[in-house]
Structure 1
């Protein structure tokens, strides 16, 4: 059972099982993990590649007290050294401004 928001849309039924409807999104890692201006760079070849956009699956959302929306997203981050394994992140709260709906 994952993180369910009041805005999660479900498919299926109680007999065959219910599952959240997944919406394909792009997660802009550059914006999500923005570095502070002027931060010194230390390259770690085996670190996570936090550049570009990765595919994600949006399955819920929550509003903040200030009216900003956060999506509940599953996505993967690659390692900079090109290994096949990825870091799989489940039920992450991600600001909508770093998401892009995939068609």
Structure 2
């Protein structure tokens, strides 16, 4: 797990420490915005990068310009509806695509 200077920890030295996970919603539409006018080529087995998915925020970093990036774990589904999902861990995600649950 990627630890940031702003990661909040729970537990103690006896029982172990673990990062506090905050439930968030990740807007895939905003995170993976397509450029205007981009040609579509549909791949039925591709990742579905639309809508929002639940995630777990466990850290954050500021950018040099003052924007905040969250360290988030989340899953992305496939367009064909299969049960398996792509699990992505420790992703730096701009705060403007996150909403606290």
Place the TM-score, normalised by the shorter chain, in its bin. over 0.9
- 1:92, distance to aligned residue in structure 2 (A): 0.2
Which residue does the alignment assign to 2:3?
4
Which residue does the alignment assign to 2:97?
98
Task: Give structure 1 regions of 4+ aligned residues with deviation exceeding 3 angstroms.
Answer: none
**Length-normalised TM-score, structure 2:** 0.99
Instruction: Provide the aligned C-alpha RMSD in A.
Output: 0.3
State the aligned residue count. Answer: 101
Contiguous gaps of at least 5 residues in structure 1: none
Superposition pairs of residues 1-103 of structure 1, within 5 angstroms: 2-102=1-101
Contiguous gaps of at least 5 residues in structure 2: none
Aligned to 2:91, what secondary structure does the other structure show?
strand
What are the superposed Cα offsets for residues 27-50 of structure 1, whole Å, 9 maximum, x if unpaired? 000000000000000000000000
- 1:80, distance to aligned residue in structure 2 (A): 0.4
**Length-normalised TM-score, structure 1:** 0.97
